């Protein structure tokens, strides 16, 4: 894997580790965890405001987050390119209307370099614990590179960062190749093999058509048939790219048009009904691409569209119709050394198993190592139902700011829009802290509870709570802690200004080094 050069010609991997636990501990005003869209976006906004006293902690070998780790065949974004990018860093040279993983990853790497973020990044630096010190009123952060402290902790690891493995008896006993789509084994060739694919989510519908062409037999284990609609992806023309480079306002207009066209779709999700236009589009797509009535019956969803993530593909259904593919709708009861046994008792010998089983979303891993007051972790405070104020701040966790936190996910629009909305709020919070001298801020518990009670009421009747499916939007308690209920422009309007009255505020006990923000 290539590493972009840091300023001065050094590799980012040459950055010195933090001082050892036995020496002086490095302090930064702001520590950012993660270098995907959220973490890099926060870092860029800090730089634009004149803040240099921050560090970005990244466990991987390069920046990019999800788009660095996910390299499976066919990996592609399901949001249009113009919208799935920073508004303050447009890319007029997207080669496709829906970008693929290598291009998005390179966009993030390039944007990081162009904004001077690379020198703030610590690669191969895994955070193992972040605890609020109530005496010194700062965050003490333990990493694989040592310890550091920070006045503000920005958690930008994102919900799609930790692969989720299924709880299937015998999984650990399998002797063939076994890997998750987010940890694709490129050293192992599937050519000519019998392969089992577990899961039919957003990743599976992208890699299945690619591996179907080379495997001898593909067994797709489908728990629930997803809604799949036609993909409008295409190559962009040289003329389009020239126009966007020459007339930047034109690209901004296209971005706005794409945004509002997708925003209208939220009406169907908030007020679902049988036979809606999106459902008719999905049914028509299935009928056009799958002629076998038996296979079509297996692939027809039995819940309202949008209850689970809506998928887009033009080659998924045709791949499943090929003679070397079997769609298994029976569940998996057991995995043996060289086979998979379905719940109907059929044993299928396979050489490899590919898990397309998603990520830890409602049980996000960061909740296990972020500790607030009294040493309690987020997981302990949440009791399997994550909640925050505006998806960003949590009572009992001073000076913690979450990006893409609880109930900021979307089923219809770009998460980058939500991230930028939260960044607006973060920067206004930091400005207020600078102007007022109030170094410590913590959302009031009753404010957080009132916000979440209202949020859950707004979710009632939506497709995400009454669509007839069991989705990864719902946590262990059956509560939707993932989706924002409604229009994203309302979210942005709500986060336009930091409201001091919603927080308890005071001056930190000990002095802390910080820089003035450039407004």
Last residue of a domain, one of 355, 388, 423: 355
420 and 441 share one domain: yes
Q: Is there a domain that residue 236 lies in?
A: no
Q: Mark whether 347 and 388 lie in a shared domain.
A: no
Say whether both 146 and 122 belong to one domain. Answer: yes
The residue whose two tokens read 């009753």 is 446
Report CA-CA distances (Å) from 382 to 227, 368, 476: 32, 11, 11
Same domain, 419 and 436: yes
Give the rounded percent of residues in the chain with a pLDDT score beyond 70.
Answer: 93
CA–CA distance, 179 with 352 (Å, rounded to integer): 8
Whether 71 and 130 map to the same domain: the answer is: yes
CATH for 419? 3.50.50.60
| Spatial distance between the Cα atoms of 510 and 357, rounded to a whole number of angstroms | 47
Domain that holds residue 339: 171-227+273-306+308-355
Residue recorded with tokens 């049914």: 283
Is 240 inside a domain boundary? no
Find residue 140's DSSP bridge partners: 131, 149
Domain finish residue from 355, 384, 415: 355
Whole-angstrom Cα distance, residue 352 to residue 341? 14
261-267 CB contacts, 8 Å cutoff, 24+ apart: 262/79, 262/83, 262/412, 262/413, 262/414, 263/412, 263/413, 263/487, 263/488, 263/489, 265/412, 265/413, 266/412, 266/413, 266/486, 266/487, 266/488
- 397 and 417 assigned to the same domain: yes
Backbone angles phi, psi at 133, to 5 degrees: -90, 110
The tokens describing 350, both together, are 């396979």
Token pair, residue 513, equals 């080094």
Last residue of a domain, one of 355, 370, 385: 355
- Assigned domain for 257 exists: no
Asked if the structure places residue 263 within a domain, the reply is: no
Question: Residue 516: is its pLDDT beyond 60?
Answer: no
List the structure tokens of 497. Answer: 């200004």
Domain contains 246: no
Distance CA 107, CA 99 (A): 10
Of the listed ranges 17-21, 39-43, 265-269, 453-457, the least confidently predicted one is 17-21
Is the residue at 341 inside a domain? yes
Q: Is the pLDDT of residue 441 over 80?
A: yes
pLDDT band at 469 (very low <50, low <70, confident <90, very high): confident
For residues 77 and 189, state if they share a domain: no
- Does residue 321 share a domain with residue 177? yes
Give the count of domains, the chain.
Answer: 2
Count other C-beta atoms under 10 Å from residue 271's C-beta. 11
Q: What angle do CA 425, 431, 434 make, to 5 degrees?
A: 145
What burial letters (b/e) apply to 274-299, b meaning 16+ CB within 10 Å?
A: eebebbeebbebbeebbeeeebbebb
List Cβ neighbours of 256 (8 Å cut-off, separation of 6 or more). none
For position 384, what pLDDT does the model report?
Answer: 86
Residue 188 covered by a domain: yes
Sign of CA dihedral 4, 10, 14, 16: negative
DSSP state of 104: H
**What are the tens digits of pLDDT across the range 103-155?**
999 999 999 999 999 999 999 999 999 999 999 999 999 999 999 999 999 99
Q: Note the pLDDT of residue 162.
A: 83
Let me know the angle formed at the C-alpha of 69 by 101 and 42, rounded to the nearest 5 degrees.
85
Per-residue pLDDT band for 24 (boundaries 50, 70, 90) equals: confident
| Residue pair 150/30 in contact by the 8 Å Cβ criterion | yes
Q: How confident is the model at residue 360 (pLDDT cuts 50, 70, 90)?
A: confident
Is residue 247 included in any domain, yes or no?
no
Asked whether 316 and 220 are in contact (CB, 8 A), the reply is no
Give the phi and the psi of residue 13 in degrees, each rounded to 5. -75, -10
CB 113 within 8 A of CB 265: no
Q: Are residues 346 and 389 in the same domain?
A: no
Q: Are residues 214 and 338 in the same domain?
A: yes
Across 70-79, 155-164, 236-245, least confident range? 155-164
Contact 205, 226 (CB under 8 A): yes
Band of pLDDT at residue 511, cut at 50, 70 and 90: low
Taking Cα atoms as reference points, which of 446, 456, 362 lies closest to residue 396? 446
Mean pLDDT, the chain, integer = 92
Of 133-137, 188-192, 469-473, 476-480, the one with minimum mean pLDDT is 469-473
Same domain flag for 181 and 218 = yes
Task: Verify that 47 and 97 share a domain, yes or no.
Answer: yes
In this predicted structure, which of 25-39, 245-259, 421-435, 505-519 has the lowest mean pLDDT? 505-519
């Amino acid at each position: 894997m290539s590493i972009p050069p840091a300023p001065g010609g050094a590799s980012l991997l040459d950055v010195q580790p933090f001082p050892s636990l036995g020496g002086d501990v490095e302090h930064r005003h702001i520590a950012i965890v993660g270098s995907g869209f959220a973490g890099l976006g926060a870092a860029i906004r800090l730089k634009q405001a004149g803040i240099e006293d921050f560090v970005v902690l990244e466990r991987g070998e390069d920046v990019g987050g999800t788009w660095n780790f996910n390299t499976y065949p066919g990996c592609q974004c399901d949001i249009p390119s113009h919208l799935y990018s920073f508004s303050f860093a447009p890319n007029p040279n997207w080669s496709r209307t829906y970008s693929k993983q290598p291009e998005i990853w390179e966009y993030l790497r390039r944007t990081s370099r162009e904004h001077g973020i690379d020198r703030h990044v610590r690669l191969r630096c895994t955070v193992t614990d972040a605890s609020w010190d109530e005496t010194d009123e700062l965050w003490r952060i333990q990493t694989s590179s040592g310890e550091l402290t920070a006045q503000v902790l920005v958690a930008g690891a994102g919900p799609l960062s930790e692969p989720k493995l299924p709880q299937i008896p015998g999984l650990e006993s399998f002797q063939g190749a076994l890997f998750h789509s987010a940890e694709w084994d490129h050293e192992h060739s599937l050519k000519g093999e019998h392969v089992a694919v577990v899961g039919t989510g957003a990743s599976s519908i992208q890699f299945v058509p690619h591996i179907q062409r080379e495997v001898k037999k593909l067994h797709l284990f489908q728990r629930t048939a997803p809604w799949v609609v036609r993909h409008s992806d295409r190559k962009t023309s040289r003329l389009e790219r020239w126009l966007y480079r020459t007339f930047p306002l034109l690209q901004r207009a296209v971005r706005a048009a794409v945004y509002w066209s997708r925003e209208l779709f939220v009406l169907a999700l908030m007020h679902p009904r049988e036979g809606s236009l999106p459902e008719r589009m999905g049914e028509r797509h299935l009928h056009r691409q799958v002629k076998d009535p038996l296979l079509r019956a297996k692939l027809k969803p039995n819940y309202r569209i949008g209850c689970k993530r809506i998928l887009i593909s033009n080659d998924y259904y045709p791949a499943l119709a090929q003679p070397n593919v079997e769609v298994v709708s029976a569940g998996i009861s057991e995995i043996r050394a060289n086979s998979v046994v379905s719940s109907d008792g059929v044993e299928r010998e396979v050489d490899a198993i590919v898990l397309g089983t998603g990520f830890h979303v409602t049980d996000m891993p960061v909740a296990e190592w972020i500790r607030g007051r009294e040493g309690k972790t987020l997981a302990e405070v949440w009791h399997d139902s994550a909640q925050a104020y505006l998806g960003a701040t949590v009572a009992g966790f001073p000076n913690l700011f979450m990006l893409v936190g609880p109930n900021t996910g979307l089923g219809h629009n770009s998460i980058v829009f939500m991230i930028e909305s939260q960044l607006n709020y973060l920067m206004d919070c930091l400005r207020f802290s600078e102007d007022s001298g109030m170094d410590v801020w913590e959302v009031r518990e009753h404010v957080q509870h009132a916000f979440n009670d209202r949020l859950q009421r707004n979710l009632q009747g939506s497709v995400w709570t009454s669509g007839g499916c069991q989705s990864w939007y719902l946590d262990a308690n059956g509560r939707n802690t993932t989706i924002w209920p409604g229009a994203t422009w309302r979210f942005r309007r709500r986060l336009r200004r930091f409201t001091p009255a919603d927080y308890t505020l005071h001056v930190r006990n000990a002095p802390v080094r910080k820089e003035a923000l450039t407004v």
